[in-house]
Amino acid sequence: MASIETQLLEMAVGEIKTLNGFLILRYGDDYLVNERESTLNDAIEIISKNKSKGFPYNSVAFLIVKPPSKVLGHYQIHNKKEHKELLKKALDKKALVYYCDVVVKEGEYTTPNPWVVDYDSVRSLYGSLNSKKPDSNIKSPKPHKYVEPQIIEEQVDDQPDEPSANEAPVDEMRCPFCGKKMNSTPGRTLHIKSKHPDMYNEYLNNKKDK
């Protein structure tokens, strides 16, 4: 797996992903780590605290997806050896690997969004962003962005709202669904995305109407 710093730097503005059990949103040059505003160095330090525990294979599901969005199979793996084998299988199929935490909701196992692309599979398939030639033998041009599989909820906002001098008063900076107080608009967006996924589209539509 790529280093924590590399994975954070490769995140696009507005992208949400899970690293070592932390839900992360990038906005500008900073990050929200489990709703806590952090610089890049702070985020690396926070996320690295869980690194010693290793990758939580027992609670993560994997997909092999052929670009742009054809799901070829879903997998549960148990260790780094099986992880490498899965990456090789994806490369043989000219596909990418995605993963997501498995949680229990209403007595059933489920995989809530977002699914996260495994950047080792991206580098294997398309080559490093800094390399002159791709590592694979694919002749098609290197895409500028990767299309998520259909099971991934489409991101309506390209970028989260940036904090500004005209930020809403503190008493208005609350989750409209549970009333939890937030420090910033990006924090509220991340909270609703992770804690109230069924209401996320409604929240975005309400923002547009204002």
Residue pLDDT, tens place only, 119-149: 888 888 887 655 444 444 445 455 555 555 5
pLDDT at 62: 93
pLDDT at 164: 47
- DSSP conformation letters of 138-196: --SPPPSSPPPPTTSPPPS-SSPPPP-TTPPPGGG-B-TTT--B-SSHHHHHHHHHHH-
DSSP E strand stretches across the chain: 16-19, 22-27, 30-33, 36-38, 60-66, 70-75, 96-101, 103-105, 108-110, 116-117
Using DSSP, state whether 10 is helix, strand or coil: coil
pLDDT at 92: 94
Residue pLDDT, tens place only, 175-198: 888 888 877 788 888 888 888 888
Q: What is the DSSP letter of 12?
A: P
* Residue 21: C-alpha distances to residues 24, 55, 66 (Å): 9, 9, 26
Burial 91-112 (b: 16+ CB within 10 A, else e): beeebbbbbbbeeeeeeeeebe
Domain boundaries, the chain: 4-53, 55-155, 170-209
Give yes or no for residue 2 having a pLDDT over 80: no
Of 3-12, 134-143, 170-179, the range with the highest mean pLDDT is 3-12
| Closest listed residue to residue 122, CA positions, set 87, 75, 74 | 87
Residue pLDDT, tens place only, 86-113: 999 999 999 999 988 887 777 787 887 7
pLDDT at 85: 94
pTM exceeds 0.75, yes or no? no
Q: Who wins on pLDDT, 207 or 177?
A: 177
pLDDT at 94: 93
Residue 207's identity, in one-letter code, is K
Share of the chain above pLDDT 70, in %: 74
Q: Who wins on pLDDT, 83 or 138?
A: 83
Confidence of residue 152 (pLDDT cuts 50, 70, 90): very low
Residue pLDDT, tens place only, 31-54: 998 778 899 999 888 888 765 456
Dihedrals phi, psi of 36, to nearest 5 degrees: -100, 125
Alpha carbons 25 and 35: distance in angstroms, whole number:
8
Unique residue bearing structure tokens 């906002």: 157
Alpha carbons 145 and 46: distance in angstroms, whole number:
28
